[in-house]
Structure 1
Amino acid sequence: MDRRAFVLAGLAALASTALARSGAPPLMLAEVYRRGMPLADYWVSEKYDGVRGYWDGKRLWTRGGEPVAAPAWFTAALPAVPMDGELWAGRGRFAHAVSTVRSQTPNDVAWRQMRFMVFDLPATPGDFTARLTVLRKLLPITEAPWIVPVPQLRATTHEDLQALLDKTVRMGGEGLMLHRGGSLYRAERNTDLVKVKPYDDADARVVSHVPGRGKHAGRMGAIWVETPDGKRFKLGGGFSDAERETPPAIGSWVSYRYNGTNPSGLPRFARFLRERPDLAD
């Protein structure tokens, strides 16, 4: 074993031990892109609409710290190096990705439609550009084409970024991600990682249900949610009739869209987007 392989294997062992103790992988989380941000040192890639997956060098975990019961063949070829990525079933197939990843009895047919889109190496030394160089040497793996290194291009201007975003969305994609080339991997939310989408969105936990009135009498009218920083507000729009009949459970996580924030920091015109069972504690 050469020195680099020895170091990476050691880092994988440390990452696995730390994860077992903490219960959730130490992941970098994205801020939201705002026009005017300097783009000179950023890489840009597609934002994949799947389930965040963390390979600790031995097994897969969700962002919330749940072990992923992937078939043995899916992970057999993965190197003993911690990897950050997205378990993805293709554009517009978020529900398939979630149901496949959350099943504790792996469905081989369902997993054959999955990809592990790897975009970073959390425990590898160096900045993102250096980690990307290592990643490109590790992947792809000929015998495991479902393990995919995420294509990364250098960002240029805001106008080019918007043109790429429009093209990606027209093709069914969710948006883009920006990684700052000179950044170390920090397990926190910061602007070294930025998401670019045609709308603002975020996640919150359901704290209560509000009974419906009028045409929604007898079913859910709205839900109260709480953001990770403790802000509470009501979501009443964006639900289908079926979702009002069987609303998101209290304590579960949901995503919502919104149009900026008001002076108090609460989202403006917030409306329900979808449930997020992949974020369950």
Structure 2
Amino acid sequence: MAFIKYLLILLSVVFTHAIYALQPDVLLAKVYDESKHGNIENYLVSEKFDGVRAIWTGDKFVTRKGNAINAPSWFTEALPQVWLDGELWIKRNNFARVSGIVRTKIPNNHDWQSVAYQVFDMPDPSIPFSTRYQNYSQLVEKLNLPHIKAVKQHSFNSLQSLTSYFKGLTTQGAEGVMLHLASAKYKSGRSDALLKLKPYLDAEAVVIEHLPGKGKYQGMLGAIKVKTSDGQEFKIGTGFSDVQRKSPPLIGSTVTYRYHGLTKNGLPRFASFLRVREPL
């Protein structure tokens, strides 16, 4: 019995290591701060797509966490044996739909017809992003496939120009913009080389309690109490549909919320429910 127990523990360790070994090293964005990142002309700017981050490893798609994405063979068969980074996307404000399609174990060809792979990087630690942008643009152009697209990058020489571009996109429903330092070589982890600018901030927290509603929400959810990764607890009472109030996010589930800065106590200001974070 002791030997069997030891064997099971050993297999568990090996299996766990194998899972985490598959997790790709990717570049992650920090939040744009005008006071810190004022030299706009140093950045290439593109739309931020509200889809599912997908890394093409050269033979398959995986998520940021290293989980396999089961795309149809016709979707991937022409992709080259190089590392690509991008977003599986349908259109603005369609995150729930594309997330559902991507999480399906057996891909539905009809559903995947609406999905495009928006390539925004071709990682190479030896060259700057400005060159990588040229490389992935030329690659996508050569592939000439309707579902593989190169994310267009823009240059601006003033904050006013960036603001105008940002407002133009967000008023049409875009999630925001990404600023990529043109001279930066590829390096994994959260970095000033990649910045995100959104009309609001968002973050994640775990649901720890359901609070009952009052008045018109009698008998339904009034608010959820959540806990962040650094131990902060607060309530979120807005952003829910009536359907969600009748069937609220499960205790223990992770939710994404939006907010507008922090209070003097360091808590999210005007926190509003955005969505349940589905595991990918």
Q: Same fold (TM over 0.5)?
A: yes
* 1:22 maps onto 2:11 in alignment: no
More off after superposition, 234-243 vs 214-223 = 214-223
User: What's the counterpart of residue 44 of structure 1?
Assistant: 45
- The amino acid across from 2:135 in the alignment is V
Distance 1:19 1:265, change over 3 A: farther
| 1:51-101 C-alpha deviation (Å, 9 max, x unpaired) | 111111111112233211110110111111121111000122222211111
User: What's the counterpart of residue 33 of structure 1?
Assistant: 32
User: What's the counterpart of residue 129 of structure 2?
Assistant: 128
Report 1:1-281 matches (<5 A). 20-36=19-35, 37-38=37-38, 39-277=40-278, 280=279
Percentage identity across aligned positions? Answer: 42
User: What's the counterpart of residue 14 of structure 1?
Assistant: none
The whole-number CA distance in structure 2 between the counterparts of 1:72 and 1:65 is 19
- The amino acid across from 1:242 in the alignment is V
Distance 1:134 1:42, change over 3 A: same
Alpha-carbon contact 1:125-1:131 (below 8 Å) kept: no
Q: What count of residue pairs does the alignment treat as equivalent?
A: 262
| 1:221-273 C-alpha deviation (Å, 9 max, x unpaired) | 22222334443322111111111111122333322121111234321111112
Alpha-carbon contact 2:20-2:66 (below 8 Å) kept: no
Gaps of 5+ in 2: 1-16
- The amino acid across from 1:94 in the alignment is F
Distance 1:23 1:229, change over 3 A: farther
Using the size of structure 2 for normalisation, the TM-score is 0.85
| 1:167-193 C-alpha deviation (Å, 9 max, x unpaired) | 112333221111111223333222221
The whole-number CA distance in structure 1 between the counterparts of 2:168 and 2:92 is 13
Alpha-carbon contact 2:78-2:143 (below 8 Å) kept: no
Alpha-carbon contact 2:208-2:225 (below 8 Å) kept: yes
- The amino acid across from 2:252 in the alignment is G
- The amino acid across from 2:155 in the alignment is R
More off after superposition, 212-221 vs 186-195 = 212-221
The alignment partner of 2:41 has SS state of coil
- The amino acid across from 1:35 in the alignment is E
The whole-number CA distance in structure 1 between the counterparts of 2:121 and 2:231 is 30
Larger radius of gyration: 2
RMSD: 2.2
More off after superposition, 134-143 vs 254-263 = 134-143
User: What's the counterpart of residue 6 of structure 1?
Assistant: none
Distance 1:167 1:26, change over 3 A: same
Distance 1:63 1:226, change over 3 A: farther
Alpha-carbon contact 1:52-1:85 (below 8 Å) kept: yes
The whole-number CA distance in structure 1 between the counterparts of 2:126 and 2:19 is 22
The whole-number CA distance in structure 1 between the counterparts of 2:231 and 2:83 is 31
The whole-number CA distance in structure 2 between the counterparts of 1:211 and 1:47 is 36
The alignment partner of 1:140 has SS state of helix
Alpha-carbon contact 1:77-1:141 (below 8 Å) kept: no
More off after superposition, 52-61 vs 259-268 = 259-268
Alpha-carbon contact 1:124-1:131 (below 8 Å) kept: no
The alignment partner of 1:268 has SS state of coil
The whole-number CA distance in structure 2 between the counterparts of 1:147 and 1:29 is 22
Gaps of 5+ in 1: 1-17
Distance 1:227 1:125, change over 3 A: farther
Q: Runs of at least 4 residues of structure 1 off by over 4 A?
A: none
The whole-number CA distance in structure 1 between the counterparts of 2:72 and 2:162 is 37
The whole-number CA distance in structure 2 between the counterparts of 1:22 and 1:266 is 35
